[in-house]
Amino acid sequence: MPETTSPILIAVPADVKAVENYHWHASPDTYLKALIRVAKAVPLIVPALSEEFDIEAVLDRIDGVMLTGSASNVHPDRYGVPPSVAHEPYDPERDRLTERLIRATLDRGLPLLCICRGHQELNVALGGTLHAEVQEIEGRMDHRAIKHQEQRERFAIRHDVAIEPGGVLEEIVGEGPIRVNSLHRQAIDRLAVGLQVEARAPDGTIEAISVTKAQGFALGVQWHPEYWAETDAASAAIFEAFARACRERRS
């Protein structure tokens, strides 16, 4: 297939799951389907074995990087807070992989889209900190997913976010507000130097960030645009903007 028409390739870091005495390196298919169906991309799952292969060899072959959400939390050791059983589960192998991916991706100027856990990982990788349980802070909303057997209900769009004027996100989705499905326990506490706020929840929680001096597209969102990317305009716009940046970077 000619280079001009071949699909963009997007690296997606794996989560590590213990199943039947194996360690599986996997990613939820909602993210992969959004890349395939909306971004018109081919996702490539990168195993969380980053100390056993050269990250640069992966980045030589791909057009962008997307960090997914996960049931696991960023380990508190990475942002200077004592770990607690109450804040589990953790996935330290993914933590190591994504920190290296984030730094190498930004150094190269490759497009970077960070969703939920990825949004938090971006802040931590650049020196910021997290609230381990944002719902425990007085005056904050409970951002956790509701308990429901149906994923459509768990990931339903539930609240507005205010878009910062003049920012990267406003260029993508308009001036807002937009409604989102923000499901999380951890949230940004101290914003890393080099990041700027792109959106906030009604309780002040930082819901979107961008890298101020990035060479290209570098956006983090706390919510889950992948779940409704085929039907929700703002969700689709984020994936489409990411895909455009990947194609422009390739050309």
Give the active site residues: 116, 224, 226
Comparing CA positions, the residue from 129, 106, 68, 118 lying closest to residue 211 is 106
Q: What is the CA radius of gyration of the chain?
A: 17
DSSP 14: P
Q: What is the C-alpha separation between 178 and 83, in angstroms, rounded? A: 34
Distance between CA atoms of residues 66 and 86, nearest Å? 28
Q: How far apart are CA 186 and CA 189, in angstroms?
A: 9
Compute the half-sphere exposure of residue 244: CA atoms within 13 Å on the CB side of its CA.
Answer: 7
Short-list 182, 187, 175, 172, CA closest to 225 = 182
Write the DSSP string, 171-221. HHH-S--EEE----S-EESSPPTTEEEEEE-TT--EEEEEETT-SS-EEEE
- Give me the count of residues in the chain: 251
